[in-house]
Structure 1
Amino acid sequence: MATDASETEAAESAPDAYRTLLKEYRRVANLRAASGVLSWDQQVMMPEGGTPARSQQLSTLSGLSHELLTDDGVGKALAELDSAELTPEQSASVREIRRRHDRAAAVPNALIEEMSTASSEALPAWERAKADDDFESFAPHLETHVELSREYAEHIDPGRDPYAVLFEEFEPCLSLERAESILATLKNALVPMIEEIRHSEVDLATDAFTSLGEYPADGQEELCREVLSALGYPWERGRLDTAPHPFSSGTTFDARVTTRFDESDPLGSLLSTVHEFGHATYTLGLPDDHYGTPLGEDRDLSVHESQSRLWENHVGRSRAFWEGFLPTVAEQFPQAADVTPREAYEAANQVYENNLIRVEADELTYHLHVVIRYEIERDLIRGDLDVTEVPEVWNDKYEEYLGIRPDTDSEGCLQDIHWAHGNFGYFPTYSLGSAMAAQLYAAAEDDVDGLDSSVAAGEFEPLHEWLTESVHRHGARYETDELVTQATGSGFTADAFVDYVTEKYGALYDLDAV
């Protein structure tokens, strides 16, 4: 996206300290982007034996990034800008860099490198532990992450709840109390709704695809490429690969997605790919001209997750999407030729009674998966739970909240990659993002004429343009609540999500009749 004349003039007239600040910050951003490529490679392509060298490489880059961000020159430039006259865009950049500088300056560089090394070493240990159903082999790595994360939080703010401090790494603009309030709203709405659905006598076409035989991985990969192309993924700036845990990473010039395949059901890889497309299209929608500055960076994980959940749930799980895309599925897999759009829609929106896996969860029980992880990692960081207790507590919570109990740790507490990375405070952003997605999509429906018809026709550009204009192009200019207000006309709440799922699943399962 090109910079307009007023922005160019503002940049040319910016104080010298501002120019210096952005120059130094771009170096930090480039180091982090390089680390991202190395991390992507470790998860997608690196041979298993590469871990010792890769951990050192990532540790070095993390240390250099930390040194640059906390350099005296950055601190001096920020101090000089305290009373400077700045444009709103410049003030936003200074605000964001100051937040990151102040947090980083409180933490010793040696700890940053130690945390990076721990993450690189924990990743292959997690992969082996998951494959072998061996939590005990991963537990020491998890214990190290917990200890280092507590130490990190202690350096930043020794007087505060350490989990709240860590949560700010992923969502700095919403308080943990606000997040907990939204989680509570979701839980209070969803628990009785899920219970009603389990008593419903409506028989959805849940096996519309799974009863039709095998779906080879190579065919699924081709189908995923088809859906990415249909959605508007620019292949000259991205690629599709497989990974044990699907993810997206990159920059506005190179945003890559991954997925994984289950040969008994094509919906998992298809919806996972649409989800990761949402992340990638946000990254790709950031303004090119602001690359390496806060105005060219995403707002943070709640907003990022809102984009992936919006494309996955409000588009990929919609009746309109299946009306348009089902013929492509049938072309790739002829056994699905007789599946109707309604049956595909029902299969994509079934509410599972016995699903243990978060990334394969339905749109409703998904949030109980998130709540369980949030409660466990919060208690780990606060010292209220020992690492050795995690499997049993995990299983107990699944039985309490979802009525099912994992038989193995591989399908239980080892299923997610986040703790292998040492990412504590990440999980709440998944549910925050889902709530935000509903609010954004409702606004898009109000603003874009015939949005549902466009989706059914395979025309996704109107939605893409609305999201780019309302969310992506702003980068981190606005804080979370202000960004949502700018896009939708009101502050961020869970109300739109509750309305959306009440209407959608009430109709699917005839809940008024229960």
Structure 2
Amino acid sequence: MATDQSSVPEAYDDLLEQYGRATYLGDANMVLSWDQEVMMPEGGTPARAKQRGAVSAVQHDLLVDDDMGEWLDELEAADLPAEESAVVREIRRQYERKARVPTDLVEEISEATSDAHPVWQEAREEDDWSTFAPTVERLLDLKREYANHIDSSADTYEVLFADYEPYIDLDTAEEILEQLRETLVPLIDEVRESDVDLYDVEGTYPEDQQLGLTREALETLGYDFERGRLDTAPHPFSSGTQFDARVTTRFDESDPLDSLGSTIHEFGHATYTQGLRDDAYGSPLGEHRGLTVHESQSRLWENHVGRSRAFWDFFVPQFNDHHGTDLTPEQAYEAANQVYEDNLIRVEADELTYHLHIILRFEIERDLLAGDLDVEEVPAVWNDKMEEYLGIRPETDAEGCLQDIHWSHGSFGYFPTYSLGSVLAAQLHAAAEDDIDDLDGKVRAGEFEDLHTWLTDNVHRHGQRYTTDDLIQEATGESFTADYFLEYAESKFGDLYDLDR
């Protein structure tokens, strides 16, 4: 990234050069992880665990090198331009956290998560939590040790949450989750008591047809295949850089809307990544602003675009062409927005019940890390909470506590960002509607460029220049609030289910 040498101390260039090398190693490790989940032979795990552990260790050493601390100290009193000041702020935040964690622990965590992935897969296939439980226990111990090194006086969950969302405190996250619970639980009850039966897509839809449709959807929405690719994985995800942002999906031949929704969701992640500044690669200015913002992009495209009436007015002919159906736009819109009474799987959940899935996971993670819940008790507690919050009870571990990949990654503290991102998506979409003339009409016409441009200008291109709160303020003119999401949910589902609200 070019800088004005007349106004930037030499220490800044040295700092950025070393940070860049660490970034490149992290991105290489990300490709190793992608390969493990998508293409690697089943027997490759022992070597891959060592490879990823070694790369993580070298990356960590670069970031916590004594020179990094000296350069940061030298720059503390420097009068830097705004962007360079933001770079120093973000590198210092990482340095201060990572320097407290021993390199051998970083390497051990990386190896443990690589080892955990096939164990989770086998446990899910065998429907047996007890097979995975010792691995979860090991990862919990490692993450507790990791958090203790960073701040032994702080709550463990709070420390881990800050890895994924550094600028929204846990109290704010809990407050928003509580707002969602208070509003959505009675709304879901009203929906389930409604006499309205929304249209449901039934039948068998071959995987090759679904793959063709999902690829066409990506092209239609504006995914750059020269800087990405589409593959399948047991748990859909997106990863990469602005030069290589990949997406994955999965297929259920009885539910073509599931793969389409998952693909549009991952497109949202990828289009954020592809929208980061090319010239800032290797710098915090070329990196995303945390997982709340990242998730806001995926949920905005999945829900506010992909589940809208305007989108289905435009897209239903393509759906019908691929699947030989004759759906009307309204039928497709209804099917895409069903609130099911028996949905056990988070990634297949509707917009309302989705957040109760998140609250359940948050509560279990918090109790596990605090030592208030034993690992072997997870299936029973999970099932009890599913029954309490959603009125359904999993019959198997595979459709219950083994459905998510996150714990095999050691990603404790991650789940709240899903709901925070959904809330932010509504706030950003409302701001975009204010700024873009007839956004709904543009979506109905299949014109997505204006929305892309708005999101790039207001979110993507800033990277980490702003803190999360400041970025939201810059983009929307307001502080972070759940109001827009709650108003959107009540209006949309009140209309769909003819509720008297």
Same fold (TM > 0.5): yes
- Give the conservation status (yes or no) of the 8 Å contact 2:295–2:421: yes
Classify 1:77/1:128 alpha carbon distance in 2 versus 1 (closer, same or farther; 3 Å): same
Secondary structure in structure 1 of the residue aligned to 2:380: helix
Give the letter for the 2:295 counterpart: E
- Who is 1:242 aligned against? 232
1:26 aligns to 2:20 (yes or no): yes
- Who is 2:208 aligned against? 218
Aligned mates of 1:359, 1:129 — CA distance in 2: 19
1:109 aligns to 2:97 (yes or no): no
Equivalences for residues 16-95 of structure 1 within 5 A: 16-95=10-89
Aligned mates of 1:365, 1:203 — CA distance in 2: 17
Aligned mates of 1:348, 1:10 — CA distance in 2: 51
- Who is 1:287 aligned against? 277
- Who is 2:419 aligned against? 431
- Who is 1:331 aligned against? 321
- Give the conservation status (yes or no) of the 8 Å contact 1:10–1:87: no
Aligned mates of 2:371, 2:405 — CA distance in 1: 21
Match of 2:256 among 262, 266, 269: 266
1:314 aligns to 2:308 (yes or no): no
- Who is 1:475 aligned against? 463
Shift of 1:450: 1.0
1:133 aligns to 2:123 (yes or no): no
Shift of 1:14: 1.2
Cα displacement string for residues 24-57 of structure 1 (whole angstroms, at most 9, x for unaligned residues)? 0001100000000000000000000000000000
- Who is 1:99 aligned against? 93
- Who is 1:164 aligned against? 158
Classify 1:505/1:311 alpha carbon distance in 2 versus 1 (closer, same or farther; 3 Å): same
Aligned mates of 1:278, 1:387 — CA distance in 2: 34
Cα displacement string for residues 126-150 of structure 1 (whole angstroms, at most 9, x for unaligned residues)? 0010011011110110000100010
Equivalences for residues 168-207 of structure 1 within 5 A: 168-205=162-199, 207=200
Cα displacement string for residues 387-425 of structure 1 (whole angstroms, at most 9, x for unaligned residues)? 011000000000000010000000000000000000000
- Give the conservation status (yes or no) of the 8 Å contact 1:166–1:424: yes
Aligned mates of 2:322, 2:192 — CA distance in 1: 34
Secondary structure in structure 1 of the residue aligned to 2:4: helix
Aligned mates of 1:192, 1:137 — CA distance in 2: 38
Aligned mates of 2:150, 2:369 — CA distance in 1: 15
Give the letter for the 2:482 counterpart: A
Shift of 1:356: 0.3
Secondary structure in structure 2 of the residue aligned to 1:250: strand
Give the letter for the 1:323 counterpart: D
Aligned mates of 2:3, 2:156 — CA distance in 1: 43
- Who is 1:452 aligned against? 440
- Structure 1-normalised TM-score? 0.97
- Who is 2:331 aligned against? 343
- Give the conservation status (yes or no) of the 8 Å contact 1:307–1:437: yes
Secondary structure in structure 2 of the residue aligned to 1:511: coil
- Give the conservation status (yes or no) of the 8 Å contact 2:217–2:264: yes
- Who is 1:401 aligned against? 389
Give the letter for the 2:29 counterpart: S
Alignment size in residue pairs: 501
Shift of 1:11: 5.2
Aligned mates of 1:395, 1:11 — CA distance in 2: 60
Give the letter for the 1:240 counterpart: L
- Structure 2-normalised TM-score? 0.99
Aligned mates of 2:83, 2:348 — CA distance in 1: 40
Aligned mates of 1:220, 1:380 — CA distance in 2: 39
Identity, % of aligned positions:
64
Secondary structure in structure 2 of the residue aligned to 1:14: coil
- Who is 1:411 aligned against? 399
Give the letter for the 1:244 counterpart: P
Cα displacement string for residues 429-462 of structure 1 (whole angstroms, at most 9, x for unaligned residues)? 0000000000000000000001001101111101
Give the letter for the 1:369 counterpart: H
Shift of 1:214: 1.1
Cα displacement string for residues 229-259 of structure 1 (whole angstroms, at most 9, x for unaligned residues)? 0000011000000000000000000000000
Match of 2:8 among 14, 20, 23: 14
Aligned mates of 1:399, 1:263 — CA distance in 2: 28
Classify 1:214/1:67 alpha carbon distance in 2 versus 1 (closer, same or farther; 3 Å): same
- Give the conservation status (yes or no) of the 8 Å contact 1:25–1:293: yes
Classify 1:287/1:164 alpha carbon distance in 2 versus 1 (closer, same or farther; 3 Å): same
Shift of 1:12: 5.5
Aligned mates of 1:120, 1:9 — CA distance in 2: 38
Aligned mates of 1:180, 1:11 — CA distance in 2: 44
Secondary structure in structure 2 of the residue aligned to 1:351: coil
Give the letter for the 1:398 counterpart: M
Equivalences for residues 358-373 of structure 1 within 5 A: 358-373=346-361
Shift of 1:192: 0.5
- Who is 1:420 aligned against? 408
Shift of 1:10: 3.0
Aligned mates of 2:397, 2:60 — CA distance in 1: 36
Aligned mates of 2:4, 2:127 — CA distance in 1: 57
1:496 aligns to 2:478 (yes or no): no
Aligned mates of 1:477, 1:352 — CA distance in 2: 41
Shift of 1:13: 3.2
Aligned mates of 1:187, 1:292 — CA distance in 2: 40
Aligned mates of 2:209, 2:377 — CA distance in 1: 42
Shift of 1:511: 1.1
- Give the conservation status (yes or no) of the 8 Å contact 2:119–2:131: yes
- Give the conservation status (yes or no) of the 8 Å contact 1:149–1:422: yes
Match of 1:257 among 247, 266, 269: 247
Give the letter for the 2:244 counterpart: D
Aligned mates of 1:134, 1:193 — CA distance in 2: 34
Aligned mates of 2:498, 2:321 — CA distance in 1: 33
User: Could you say what the CA RMSD is over the residues aligned between the two structures, in angstroms?
Assistant: 0.9
- Give the conservation status (yes or no) of the 8 Å contact 2:7–2:80: no
Aligned mates of 1:189, 1:32 — CA distance in 2: 40
Aligned mates of 1:290, 1:78 — CA distance in 2: 19
Secondary structure in structure 1 of the residue aligned to 2:122: helix
Shift of 1:361: 0.1
